[in-house]
Structure 1
Amino acid sequence: MINYLFTVYTFEYFLMILVRVASFVFVAPFFGMNNTPGRVKIGLSAFLALILYQAILPKESLEYSGTIEFAIIVLREGITGLLIGFAANICNSIIVFSGKVIDMEIGLAMANIYDPMTRTQSGLTGTMYNYFIMLLLIITDMHHYILRALIDTYQLIPVNGTVFDWEHLMSTMSMYIADLMVIGFRIVLPVFATSMILNCILGVMAKVAPQMNMFAVGMQLKVLIGFSVLFVTIILLPDISNFIFREMKRMIVSVVEGMY
């Protein structure tokens, strides 16, 4: 039987669950996109918090001596949810970084568009890849994994039980920066290799036929060949998404390990 009766102590416990869940939904990929209506985020957070309130047993009353300690508990729960969501969301910057490098290689670095997901100016290739990765995230049910990861954290990190290991969290970010460069350049490699070969050919042609304007010809060839390579390598998007989703899982696990 489901019991929805609240006392003063259990209502405080429910509020702490709501704070962590709402903080997670605010920054998590797919759930926290800027083009998602705010009412949907609030409703989803409240619904998940209500379900978790019924699932988490036993419910212990929060122990605090004043308003300041209660505010500290709220901040601790909010930071916990933010870090879990941020660990998954930050992995999207890998595809954005790769898109910027690809745009520089094929000559589209200045052709930026407004991305409603991030509310910033983004490159064409990065925006296209980002939407593809988000679509694959939904198709592969990766958003369910991220949501289950949040729910499972209550078994390891109970309410008001977060202990921040800042050294571990800093090492996690250092690991992510290294993985960002490695995975990003793996994605860029087909376009980068093709562009390097094209530059070598243009350099030879500039010596053989100096009367030709290689700058004007090269810009057009880079765009044409760059789009051709992107069209051919579009079948590699599932493998690219595997790299990014695997990195999401590593980041979420590593961040959670640094909070208990």
Structure 2
Amino acid sequence: MNAPALAADMLAPDRATILFLVFMRLSSLMLMSATFGAAVPLLVRLTLALALSTCLGLGLEITSPLAAASTWELAAAALRELGLGAVMALGVNMAFAAFSMGGRLLDVQIGFGMGQVLDPVSRHQVPILSGAMSQLALVGFFSSSAFATLLLGLQMSFERFPPGASWPLEPAIVVLAKQGGGLFSLGFALVAPVVFCLMLLEFALGVLARNVPQMNMFALALPLKVLAGIAALSLWLGGAGAAMSHAYASIFSFWNGVLR
């Protein structure tokens, strides 16, 4: 399609309405998703949503005369798109929350829970490893094929539920409950080897405290747990690709359950 024909297609009333509804869904997803959180400026997120809306909206077929709908019908369709984008963003947030939960488990075991740092994504004070795991989740997401799969998932959402179409809420509630129930297990799976190493160290320190009660175990245990935890986490991150991929895959399983 040449440039004049493309411009004429974008200015057509039905096509313009489709682009607007697509933008509503994508802007809701990007504004409420932790992946495109506070670390990315608002203007950049809206620009990216507009660019993706144009690319995806021009490829969609016009199945109904949306331009002939009334103002209230268009407003209701826009609200449905905003709601669907928010539900899809919730699936993304829950997947990334597993990384933060895994980091909090390590913070409690190692002793970093006593200190707080500013997380640039959530703009809240969080323990050290919780913030580090959140940043690691972002780096792993954009450096792997998960981001490309996210774009394919967006295309799937428009194929199953075209812009302005109604979508059922009941499947989203069921999938949300299931995803929330597996959130702790997913977060634990991300750091399970490190937790296991720290548990072995705790057992060894317990045996030492029983046999040598005159030792100050608090002063001895804290630096040992920090060293052992950081060393185990450094070794584990080299082979944590499968666990991270499983966490990212939970996004698309959530979307697949919602977009039935």
Q: Same fold (TM over 0.5)?
A: yes
Would you say the 8 A contact 2:14–2:67 is kept in 1? no
Give the aligned partner of residue 134 of structure 1. Answer: 138
What percent identity do the matched residue pairs reach? 22
Query: TM-score when scaled to structure 2?
Result: 0.88
Q: 2:205 aligns with which of 202, 205, 211?
A: 202
**Partners in 2 of 1:107 and 1:180 — Cα distance?**
23
Give the aligned partner of residue 181 of structure 1. Answer: 184
Would you say the 8 A contact 1:13–1:59 is kept in 2? no
Q: 1:244 aligns with which of 239, 243, 247?
A: 247
Instruction: Please tell me the residue identity of whatever aligns with 1:225.
Output: A
1:116 Cα offset (Å): 1.0
Give the aligned partner of residue 92 of structure 1. Answer: 96
Distance 1:15 1:110, change over 3 A: same
- Structure 1: state its 5+ residue gaps: none
**Partners in 2 of 1:82 and 1:149 — Cα distance?**
15
1:86 Cα offset (Å): 2.5
Is 1:27 aligned to 2:36, yes or no?
no
**Partners in 1 of 2:39 and 2:198 — Cα distance?**
35
Would you say the 8 A contact 1:13–1:60 is kept in 2? no
1:63 Cα offset (Å): 7.5
Partner SS for 2:239: helix
Please say which of residues 65-74 and 151-160 is displaced more in the overlay: 65-74
Instruction: Please tell me the residue identity of whatever aligns with 1:14.
Output: L
**Partners in 2 of 1:203 and 1:45 — Cα distance?**
54
Would you say the 8 A contact 1:52–1:151 is kept in 2? yes
- Superposition map of 1:226-237 within 5 A: 226-237=229-240
Give the aligned partner of residue 124 of structure 2. Answer: 120
- Superposition map of 1:101-180 within 5 A: 101-166=105-170, 168-180=171-183
Would you say the 8 A contact 1:27–1:85 is kept in 2? yes
1:104 Cα offset (Å): 0.3
1:98 Cα offset (Å): 0.5
For these two proteins, the number of residue pairs brought into alignment is 255
Distance 1:56 1:207, change over 3 A: closer
Would you say the 8 A contact 1:19–1:74 is kept in 2? yes
Q: 1:212 aligns with which of 212, 215, 221?
A: 215
**Partners in 2 of 1:52 and 1:194 — Cα distance?**
47
1:94 Cα offset (Å): 0.2
Give the aligned partner of residue 12 of structure 1. Answer: 17
Please say which of residues 103-112 and 80-89 is displaced more in the overlay: 80-89
For residues 59-104 of structure 1, what are the alpha-carbon distances to aligned partners after superposition, in whole Å with 9 as ceiling and x for unaligned?
A: 5223887544332211101111222232123200001000001000
**Partners in 1 of 2:187 and 2:228 — Cα distance?**
20
**Partners in 2 of 1:103 and 1:77 — Cα distance?**
39
1:244 Cα offset (Å): 0.9
Give the aligned partner of residue 73 of structure 2. Answer: 69
- Structure 2: state its 5+ residue gaps: none
The alignment's C-alpha RMSD in Å is: 2.2
